[in-house]
Amino acid sequence: MTPDIRHLRSYGRIKARTLKPRQAGLVETLLPHLAVPEEGALDWEELFAPVAEDVGLAPPTAPLPAEPSAQILEIGFGGGEHLVSQATAHPDRRFIGVEPFLNGVASCLRHIEESGAQNIRLHQGDARDVIARLPDASLDLVYILFPDPWPKTRHHKRRLIQPEFLGDLARVMKPGAELRFATDWANYAAWTLEHLMRDRRFTWLAERAEDWRQPWPGHVTTRYEEKKLGDCAPIWLRFVRR
């Protein structure tokens, strides 16, 4: 029997410790209202239809705009600190967050409940499954923050940044859209630069060393970043879709 490759691409764990009762409850009650549909082409307007008032979110402090100023994808949002902070700071923008790790999704739901953010939708699973169903040229910004580095050479094929993935990503990014990538593994930074600079659909925005040594304005530090698990200081790479 041929395996279903869609369920093999994330490689890493999808669940660790048992969810706390509050988190488990949010997965059961809140996630269904915020989850990206599992199948079919994605329509931004349908996806961001107003959330029902009885799901437990605090009401927005201001009406959500009919036309968003930007549509943003965060791939691998970890515990959701960065995603929710960005969404609450920019209620005029729409955010899709993707994370394969169930505990991370549950943590993000807690942040969403506490903040009352109405402009976030979530997918637990592989980002490529979401990207494949997004409309062409619909993203203004993509975050990939501290993805699994797969440092061993024999595991490099498991890294997210691959030529095929960049092709899929280029399709859904608007001309002039930005890709922001951060890692604390030197080899993965070099790997990413090599692949992105070889791809003529992207341009590296750095002009001086400080551009990759310092985070971009508005960055929110995550718990993973604070752990300093890599082999170098964080490297911040920005690319624009030509």
Q: Give the catalytic positions in this structure.
A: 148
Q: What does the alpha-carbon distance between residue 201 and residue 87 come to, in Å, rounded to a whole number?
A: 28
Are the CB atoms for 96 and 164 separated by under 8 Å?
A: no
How far, in Å, are 21, 169, 171, 238 from residue 165 at the CA level?
Answer: 37, 6, 10, 17
Q: DSSP character for 35?
A: B
- For 140, other C-beta atoms within 10 Å of its C-beta total 19
Question: Per-residue DSSP letters for 129-194?
Answer: HHHTTSPTT-EEEEEEES-----SGGGGGGSS--HHHHHHHHHHEEEEEEEEEEES-HHHHHHHHH
Instruction: Write phi, then psi, for 12 (nearest 5 degrees).
Output: -75, -175
